[in-house]
Structure 1
């Protein structure tokens, strides 16, 4: 069964906090951070979830007007036991459908080869690195996607 991809609801917040902690450990957003994200949900901030009766993945997008034609993928995660099942691809497809004609940027840990492969499969290209970006000193790879309408 493929999960439904839908807009996050306020009652998803505890599941998102738990999933974020599971996926990102010390780099996870706090409960307060997630509350702030939900308060900002509007036309320019989108949270999508993959729902199989429980939240098994999510993506958070920052859309214009912050920078007119640039969208940022702020966060994407899939539950560890659901990885390599296509959920990440579903989430990325749903996210990119909202981004036609815009540039999309994201950052990913240099060591996260599976995520970098997923993004490359969607046409993202590496454009730069941020040395020592993460709390453990690991570099972030900045990737860009652009498709014209």
Structure 2
């Protein structure tokens, strides 16, 4: 096993789209990822040799950052890879001068919510009807973490 982090390039898009589609009921489209990569969002990949285990997409504007999406391949979930990916992202953002990181998480995504609370995020608000569901919409919990080097 050779775990390592890398930044994504356009050659990684197929694998990223496959992972996201397997991880989420309402995944990003290929066009979403292509556009995000094109405008310069940061794509942090966690790989084992050449196998993509997880991806985190974020953007930073001055001293604030937003986690746009984070996913771990379902066959590798529950093994600490999400925490590893999140911690690496937090460290990189802090080194890059970010002082706070924001994110939204589905109310129903209790695993992710627990991960974020464990990493020191705090709930700061809710967005009513933010996410689509099979039978309507669900709220997003908006969370924030203050970063330090």
TM-score by length of 2: 0.89
C-alpha RMSD over aligned residues: 1.4
From 24, 44, 49, give the equivalent of 2:45.
Answer: 49
2:3 is matched with 3
1:138 is matched with 138
Output one character per residue of 1:79-133: Cα deviation in whole Å (capped at 9) or x when no partner: 1111111111111111101222511000000111111111111100111111111
What residue ranges of structure 2 are gaps of 5+ in the alignment?
Answer: none
Q: How does 1:71-82 map to 2 (within 5 A)?
A: 71-82=65-76
Give the structure with the higher percent strand: 2
Shift of 1:2: 5.9
Secondary structure of 2:138's aligned partner: coil
1:40 is matched with 39
From 90, 95, 98, give the equivalent of 2:89.
Answer: 95
Q: How does 1:103-142 map to 2 (within 5 A)?
A: 103-136=100-133, 137-142=137-142
TM-score by length of 1: 0.89
